[in-house]
Amino acid sequence: MSGPWEAVIGLEIHVQLATRTKMFCGCDLSFGDPPNTHTCPVCLAHPGALPVVNREAIRLGILAGLALGCSVPPACEFHRKNYFYPDNPKAYQISQYDAPLCVGGRVAVLLPDGRDLEVGITRAHLEEDAAKLVHLGAGGRRAGAEASGVDFNRGGTPLLEIVTEPDLRSAADAGAFLRQLRQTLRALGVSDVNMEEGSLRADANVSVRQAGERALGTKTELKNMNSFRFLERGIDAELARQTALLEAGGRVVQETLHFDPDAGEIHSLRSKEEAHDYRYFPEPDLVPLAPDQAWVEELRASLPELPVARRGRWYELGLTYEDAEVLSETAELGEYFEQVAELAEPKAAANWIRGELRAQLREAGQEPWESRVTPALLAELIGLREDGTLSEPGAKEVLAEVVRTGASPAAVVEQRGLGQISDDGELTALVERLLADNPDQAEQLRGGKDKLVGYFVGQAMKATGGRADPARVGQLVREKAAG
Partner 1 sequence: MSALHELTAEQGVAALHAGEASAAEMVDAALARVEDDRWGSFLAVDAEGARGRAREIDALAERPPLAGVPIAIKDALSTRDLTTTAGSRILEGFRPVYTATCVERLERAGAVVIGKTNMDEFAMGSSTENSAYQLTRNPWDGGRVPGGSSGGSAAAVAAYQAPWALGSDTGGSIRQPAALCGIVGMKPTYGAVSRSGLIAFASSLDQVGPFARTVRDAALLLSHIVGRDELDSTSLDWPEPIAVPEATDLEGVRVGVVDELMGDGVEPGVRAAVDAALARIEGLGGSVERVSLATTEHGVATYYLIAPAECSSNLARFDGIRYGPRFDDARDLLEHYEVTRGEGFGPEVKRRVMLGTFALASGYYDAYYLRAQKVRTLIRRDFDAAFERVDVLVSPTSPTTAFRIGERVQDPLAMYLSDVCTIPSSLAGLPSLSIPCGLSDGLPVGLQLAGAAFSENRLLSVAHALEAAIGFDPRPPGVL
Partner 2 sequence: MIDDATVRHVARLARLRLGPEEEARMREELSGILEHVERIQALDLDEVPPTTHVVELLNVVREDEPRECLSQEEALREAPEVIEGMFAVVKFE
Q: How many CA atoms lie within 13 A of 180 on its CB side?
A: 28
Give the residue, chosen from 51, 158, 234, 307, that forms a contact with partner 1 under the rule CB under 8 A. Answer: 51
**253/221 Cα distance (integer angstroms):** 11
**61/159 Cα distance (integer angstroms):** 9
**How many residues bind partner 2, per CB under 8 A?**
52
Give the residue, chosen from 161, 167, 173, 469, that forms a contact with Mg ion under the rule CB under 5 A. Answer: 161
Q: Does 254 bind partner 1 (CB under 8 A)?
A: no
CB closer to partner 1, 78 vs 337: 78
Give the residue, chosen from 2, 48, 113, 142, that forms a contact with partner 2 under the rule CB under 8 A. Answer: 142
Q: Does 148 bind partner 2 (CB under 8 A)?
A: yes
92: β partners: 82
Would you give the distance in Å from CA 401 to the centre of its chain? 32
**How many residues bind Mg ion, per CB under 5 A?**
1
Give the residue, chosen from 112, 250, 264, 282, that forms a contact with partner 2 under the rule CB under 8 A. Answer: 282
CB closer to partner 1, 53 vs 343: 53
- Helix/strand/coil (H/E/C) assignment for every residue in 335-377: HHHHHHHHHCCHHHHHHHHHHHHHHHHHHHCCCHHHCCCCHHH
Q: Which of 201, 203, 202 is nearest to 257 (CA)?
A: 203
**Stretch in the footprint of Mg ion (CB under 5 A) among 155-163, 165-173, 252-260, 387-395:** 155-163
3-state secondary structure of 289: strand
Q: Does 431 bind Zn ion (CB under 5 A)?
A: no
Q: Does 281 bind partner 1 (CB under 8 A)?
A: yes
Which of Zn ion, partner 2, partner 1, none sits in contact with 136, Cβ below 5 to 8 A by type? partner 2
Which of Zn ion, Mg ion, partner 2, none sits in contact with 19, Cβ below 5 to 8 A by type? partner 2
Give, as ranges, the residues between 5 and 24 that touch partner 2 (CB under 8 A).
Answer: 19-21
Q: Which of 182, 163, 159, 263 is nearest to 221 (CA)?
A: 163
**DSSP annotation string for 408-434:** -HHHHHHHHT---B--HHHHHHHHHHH
Helix (H) or strand (E) holding 12: strand 5-16
**326/336 Cα distance (integer angstroms):** 12
Give the residue, chosen from 20, 28, 37, 41, that forms a contact with partner 1 under the rule CB under 8 A. Answer: 41
- For residue 331, which amino acid is it? A
Q: Does 27 bind Zn ion (CB under 5 A)?
A: yes
Binding interface with partner 2 (CB under 8 A)? 19-21, 25-28, 34-41, 44, 52-58, 75, 77, 84, 86, 133-134, 136, 142-143, 145-152, 271, 274, 277, 279, 282, 284, 286-291
